[in-house]
Chains A and B, each alone.
Chain A
Protein backbone atom coordinates (compact mmCIF):
# COMPACT_ATOMS: atom_id res chain seq x y z
CA UNK A 1 0.00 0.00 0.00
CA UNK A 2 1.32 3.38 -0.91
CA UNK A 3 4.89 4.46 -1.17
CA UNK A 4 8.06 2.42 -1.37
CA UNK A 5 11.52 2.87 0.05
CA UNK A 6 14.70 1.36 -1.29
CA UNK A 7 16.08 -1.39 0.85
CA UNK A 8 19.65 -0.19 0.81
CA UNK A 9 18.39 3.10 2.25
CA UNK A 10 16.89 1.27 5.19
CA UNK A 11 20.09 -0.72 5.73
CA UNK A 12 22.21 2.39 5.65
CA UNK A 13 19.83 4.29 7.90
CA UNK A 14 19.90 1.57 10.53
CA UNK A 15 23.67 1.24 10.45
CA UNK A 16 24.04 4.97 10.73
CA UNK A 17 21.51 5.14 13.55
CA UNK A 18 23.40 2.62 15.65
CA UNK A 19 26.69 4.29 14.89
CA UNK A 20 25.38 7.77 15.75
CA UNK A 21 23.82 6.72 19.02
CA UNK A 22 26.87 4.76 20.07
CA UNK A 23 29.54 7.18 19.02
CA UNK A 24 28.01 10.62 19.13
CA UNK A 25 24.94 10.94 21.30
CA UNK A 26 25.80 8.61 24.13
CA UNK A 27 29.49 8.22 23.42
CA UNK A 28 30.57 6.51 26.63
CA UNK A 29 27.27 5.12 27.79
CA UNK A 30 26.46 2.05 25.75
CA UNK A 31 23.57 1.08 28.03
CA UNK A 32 21.80 4.36 27.42
CA UNK A 33 22.40 4.14 23.68
CA UNK A 34 21.04 0.61 23.69
CA UNK A 35 17.97 1.64 25.61
CA UNK A 36 17.32 4.55 23.27
CA UNK A 37 17.66 2.40 20.17
CA UNK A 38 15.36 -0.19 21.70
CA UNK A 39 12.81 2.52 22.45
CA UNK A 40 12.86 3.64 18.83
CA UNK A 41 12.30 0.03 17.81
CA UNK A 42 9.42 -0.19 20.30
CA UNK A 43 7.63 2.72 18.67
CA UNK A 44 8.18 1.34 15.19
CA UNK A 45 6.92 -2.10 16.19
CA UNK A 46 3.91 -0.57 17.93
CA UNK A 47 2.84 1.30 14.81
CA UNK A 48 3.66 -1.47 12.36
CA UNK A 49 1.63 -4.03 14.29
CA UNK A 50 -1.36 -1.68 14.14
CA UNK A 51 -1.03 -1.50 10.39
CA UNK A 52 -0.39 -5.17 9.71
CA UNK A 53 -3.18 -6.56 11.89
CA UNK A 54 -5.84 -4.45 10.27
CA UNK A 55 -7.70 -7.00 8.21
CA UNK A 56 -7.07 -10.07 10.30
CA UNK A 57 -9.43 -11.75 12.74
CA UNK A 58 -8.44 -11.39 16.37
CA UNK A 59 -5.93 -13.66 18.06
CA UNK A 60 -7.24 -16.21 20.52
CA UNK A 61 -4.07 -16.63 22.57
CA UNK A 62 -0.40 -15.74 22.92
CA UNK A 63 0.77 -18.49 20.60
CA UNK A 64 -1.40 -17.13 17.79
CA UNK A 65 0.10 -13.68 18.24
CA UNK A 66 3.65 -15.07 18.22
CA UNK A 67 2.87 -17.05 15.09
CA UNK A 68 1.60 -13.87 13.50
CA UNK A 69 4.93 -12.20 14.33
CA UNK A 70 6.83 -15.16 12.88
CA UNK A 71 4.87 -15.35 9.68
CA UNK A 72 3.00 -12.27 8.49
CA UNK A 73 4.85 -9.58 10.39
CA UNK A 74 8.31 -10.92 9.57
CA UNK A 75 7.26 -11.40 5.96
CA UNK A 76 6.15 -7.79 5.68
CA UNK A 77 9.40 -6.57 7.17
CA UNK A 78 11.97 -8.91 5.66
CA UNK A 79 10.20 -10.74 2.81
CA UNK A 80 10.70 -14.06 4.59
CA UNK A 81 9.30 -15.88 7.59
CA UNK A 82 11.03 -16.91 10.78
CA UNK A 83 12.78 -20.21 10.14
CA UNK A 84 12.35 -21.85 13.50
CA UNK A 85 10.09 -21.25 16.49
CA UNK A 86 10.65 -22.99 19.81
CA UNK A 87 8.74 -22.65 23.03
CA UNK A 88 8.82 -24.07 26.50
CA UNK A 89 5.06 -23.61 26.80
CA UNK A 90 5.67 -21.52 29.86
CA UNK A 91 5.93 -18.10 28.36
CA UNK A 92 9.32 -18.27 26.62
CA UNK A 93 9.64 -18.36 22.84
CA UNK A 94 12.75 -18.53 20.70
CA UNK A 95 12.45 -17.15 17.18
CA UNK A 96 15.32 -18.14 14.95
CA UNK A 97 16.09 -16.51 11.65
CA UNK A 98 18.83 -18.32 9.75
CA UNK A 99 19.74 -15.36 7.65
CA UNK A 100 18.74 -12.13 9.32
CA UNK A 101 18.55 -9.51 6.66
CA UNK A 102 20.02 -6.64 8.61
CA UNK A 103 23.08 -8.65 9.59
CA UNK A 104 23.96 -10.05 6.17
CA UNK A 105 26.52 -7.34 5.54
CA UNK A 106 28.28 -7.81 8.81
CA UNK A 107 31.63 -9.56 8.78
CA UNK A 108 31.98 -12.88 10.51
CA UNK A 109 35.09 -12.80 12.55
CA UNK A 110 36.58 -16.01 13.87
CA UNK A 111 38.50 -15.47 17.09
CA UNK A 112 42.13 -16.48 16.53
CA UNK A 113 42.97 -19.72 18.30
CA UNK A 114 46.25 -18.71 19.80
CA UNK A 115 45.47 -15.05 19.93
CA UNK A 116 47.04 -12.63 22.32
CA UNK A 117 44.82 -11.09 24.96
CA UNK A 118 44.77 -7.89 22.91
CA UNK A 119 43.38 -9.65 19.87
CA UNK A 120 40.79 -11.41 21.97
CA UNK A 121 39.64 -8.18 23.54
CA UNK A 122 39.32 -6.61 20.09
CA UNK A 123 37.14 -9.51 19.04
CA UNK A 124 35.07 -9.07 22.18
CA UNK A 125 34.63 -5.38 21.42
CA UNK A 126 33.49 -6.20 17.93
CA UNK A 127 30.96 -8.61 19.34
CA UNK A 128 29.63 -5.88 21.59
CA UNK A 129 29.31 -3.52 18.62
CA UNK A 130 27.51 -6.18 16.63
CA UNK A 131 25.06 -6.78 19.43
CA UNK A 132 24.19 -3.07 19.39
CA UNK A 133 22.61 -3.62 16.01
CA UNK A 134 20.18 -6.08 17.51
CA UNK A 135 18.48 -3.71 19.90
CA UNK A 136 16.38 -2.21 17.14
CA UNK A 137 14.78 -5.49 15.97
CA UNK A 138 14.32 -6.54 19.60
CA UNK A 139 12.45 -3.30 20.17
CA UNK A 140 10.32 -3.89 17.10
CA UNK A 141 9.25 -7.31 18.36
CA UNK A 142 8.58 -5.96 21.83
CA UNK A 143 6.54 -3.03 20.48
CA UNK A 144 4.46 -5.26 18.22
CA UNK A 145 3.67 -7.74 20.99
CA UNK A 146 2.87 -4.98 23.49
CA UNK A 147 0.38 -3.48 21.10
CA UNK A 148 -1.28 -6.87 20.81
CA UNK A 149 -1.66 -6.91 24.57
CA UNK A 150 1.32 -9.13 25.44
CA UNK A 151 3.91 -7.41 27.65
CA UNK A 152 7.25 -9.13 27.20
CA UNK A 153 11.02 -8.81 27.24
CA UNK A 154 13.01 -9.57 24.10
CA UNK A 155 16.70 -10.33 23.83
CA UNK A 156 18.82 -11.47 20.90
CA UNK A 157 21.64 -13.88 20.43
CA UNK A 158 24.15 -13.93 17.59
CA UNK A 159 26.43 -16.83 18.34
CA UNK A 160 26.56 -17.78 14.71
CA UNK A 161 26.14 -15.08 12.10
CA UNK A 162 24.19 -14.52 9.93
CA UNK A 163 21.69 -16.58 11.90
CA UNK A 164 20.04 -14.73 14.73
CA UNK A 165 17.79 -15.87 17.57
CA UNK A 166 15.34 -13.68 19.43
CA UNK A 167 14.24 -14.85 22.86
CA UNK A 168 10.82 -13.56 23.90
CA UNK A 169 9.88 -13.87 27.56
CA UNK A 170 6.26 -13.06 28.28
CA UNK A 171 5.75 -11.24 31.54
CA UNK A 172 3.13 -12.92 33.69
Chain B
Protein backbone atom coordinates (compact mmCIF):
# COMPACT_ATOMS: atom_id res chain seq x y z
CA UNK B 1 0.00 0.00 0.00
CA UNK B 2 1.47 3.32 -1.01
CA UNK B 3 1.55 5.70 1.93
CA UNK B 4 3.29 8.67 0.42
CA UNK B 5 4.06 10.16 -2.97
CA UNK B 6 6.40 13.09 -3.46
CA UNK B 7 7.51 15.06 -6.49
CA UNK B 8 10.71 17.01 -5.96
CA UNK B 9 12.13 19.57 -8.37
CA UNK B 10 15.65 19.74 -9.66
CA UNK B 11 16.88 21.98 -6.88
CA UNK B 12 15.46 19.58 -4.34
CA UNK B 13 12.51 21.87 -3.85
CA UNK B 14 9.29 20.01 -3.03
CA UNK B 15 6.68 20.35 -5.75
CA UNK B 16 4.05 18.01 -4.41
CA UNK B 17 3.86 15.80 -1.32
CA UNK B 18 0.82 13.74 -0.50
CA UNK B 19 0.58 11.20 2.29
CA UNK B 20 -2.22 8.71 2.49
CA UNK B 21 -2.23 7.81 6.19
CA UNK B 22 -3.38 9.42 9.44
CA UNK B 23 -2.16 12.90 10.12
CA UNK B 24 0.35 12.18 12.86
CA UNK B 25 2.41 10.00 10.55
CA UNK B 26 2.74 12.72 7.93
CA UNK B 27 5.83 14.38 9.42
CA UNK B 28 7.67 11.10 9.63
CA UNK B 29 6.89 10.41 5.99
CA UNK B 30 8.14 13.84 4.99
CA UNK B 31 11.34 13.09 6.87
CA UNK B 32 11.75 9.78 5.07
CA UNK B 33 11.28 11.51 1.71
CA UNK B 34 13.85 14.12 2.67
CA UNK B 35 16.41 11.47 3.58
CA UNK B 36 15.79 9.57 0.38
CA UNK B 37 16.78 12.64 -1.65
CA UNK B 38 20.33 12.12 -0.43
CA UNK B 39 20.23 8.54 -1.60
CA UNK B 40 19.10 9.67 -5.03
CA UNK B 41 22.02 12.08 -5.30
CA UNK B 42 24.38 9.37 -4.22
CA UNK B 43 23.11 6.96 -6.87
CA UNK B 44 23.42 9.57 -9.58
CA UNK B 45 26.91 10.68 -8.66
CA UNK B 46 28.46 7.26 -8.25
CA UNK B 47 28.30 5.64 -11.65
CA UNK B 48 30.54 2.73 -10.72
CA UNK B 49 28.44 1.62 -7.81
CA UNK B 50 25.12 1.85 -9.60
CA UNK B 51 26.39 -0.44 -12.33
CA UNK B 52 24.26 -1.25 -15.37
CA UNK B 53 21.40 1.01 -14.35
CA UNK B 54 23.34 4.21 -14.90
CA UNK B 55 21.02 5.85 -17.38
CA UNK B 56 17.82 4.31 -16.22
CA UNK B 57 15.13 6.63 -15.08
CA UNK B 58 13.84 4.21 -12.50
CA UNK B 59 16.25 4.06 -9.58
CA UNK B 60 14.67 1.12 -7.80
CA UNK B 61 14.59 0.57 -4.09
CA UNK B 62 16.38 3.46 -2.50
CA UNK B 63 16.45 2.23 1.07
CA UNK B 64 14.31 0.10 3.34
CA UNK B 65 13.33 1.44 6.74
CA UNK B 66 11.64 -0.47 9.53
CA UNK B 67 8.13 -0.45 8.07
CA UNK B 68 8.51 1.14 4.67
CA UNK B 69 10.19 0.71 1.34
CA UNK B 70 11.19 3.78 -0.62
CA UNK B 71 11.40 3.78 -4.42
CA UNK B 72 12.78 6.52 -6.59
CA UNK B 73 12.40 7.65 -10.21
CA UNK B 74 14.47 10.39 -11.78
CA UNK B 75 13.48 12.11 -15.02
CA UNK B 76 15.77 13.70 -17.55
CA UNK B 77 14.96 17.11 -16.20
CA UNK B 78 16.10 16.10 -12.72
CA UNK B 79 12.60 15.91 -11.30
CA UNK B 80 12.45 13.18 -8.68
CA UNK B 81 9.44 11.03 -7.92
CA UNK B 82 9.60 9.34 -4.50
CA UNK B 83 7.23 6.55 -3.58
CA UNK B 84 6.92 5.28 -0.02
CA UNK B 85 5.11 2.00 0.37
CA UNK B 86 4.32 -0.36 3.24
CA UNK B 87 3.80 -3.36 1.04
CA UNK B 88 6.67 -5.62 1.98
CA UNK B 89 5.92 -8.18 -0.70
CA UNK B 90 6.04 -5.80 -3.63
CA UNK B 91 8.58 -6.49 -6.33
CA UNK B 92 10.75 -3.98 -8.17
CA UNK B 93 9.20 -4.75 -11.52
CA UNK B 94 5.68 -3.93 -10.33
CA UNK B 95 6.68 -0.53 -9.05
CA UNK B 96 8.70 0.08 -12.18
CA UNK B 97 5.57 -0.33 -14.26
CA UNK B 98 3.40 1.81 -12.03
CA UNK B 99 5.53 4.92 -12.08
CA UNK B 100 5.23 5.85 -15.78
CA UNK B 101 1.46 5.57 -15.41
CA UNK B 102 1.56 8.05 -12.55
CA UNK B 103 3.49 10.55 -14.59
CA UNK B 104 0.98 10.65 -17.42
Q: How far is the CA of A62 from the CA of B100 in the complex (A)?
A: 25
Chain B residues whose CB sits within 8 angstroms of the CB of A103 once the complex forms:
none
The bracket for how many chain B residues form the interface is 10 to 19
Q: How far is the CA of A60 from the CA of B55 in the complex (A)?
A: 7
Chain B residues whose CB sits within 8 angstroms of the CB of A149 once the complex forms:
10, 77-78
Partner of B100, one of A50, A55, A58: A55
Within 8 A of A (CB), among B31-79: 54-57, 74-79
Q: Is B88 an interface residue (CB 8 A)?
A: no
Chain B residues whose CB sits within 8 angstroms of the CB of A96 once the complex forms:
none
Q: Is B103 an interface residue (CB 8 A)?
A: yes
Partner of B57, one of A49, A57, A147: A57
The bracket for how many chain A residues form the interface is 10 to 19
Q: How far is the CA of A56 from the CA of B74 in the complex (A)?
A: 11
Shortest distance from the beta carbon of A129 to any chain B beta carbon, whole Å: 34
Task: State whether B55 touches A49 (Cβ < 8 A).
Answer: no
Task: State whether A58 touches B103 (Cβ < 8 A).
Answer: no
Task: State whether B54 touches A53 (Cβ < 8 A).
Answer: no
Chain B residues whose CB sits within 8 angstroms of the CB of A58 once the complex forms:
54-57, 74-76
Residues on B lying within 8 angstroms of A by beta carbon are 10, 54-57, 74-79, 100, 103-104
Instruction: Please give 12 more A-B residue pairs, beta carbons under 8 A apart, in addition to A49-B76, A148-B77.
Output: A49-B77, A50-B75, A54-B75, A54-B100, A57-B55, A57-B56, A58-B56, A58-B74, A58-B75, A59-B55, A59-B76, A60-B54
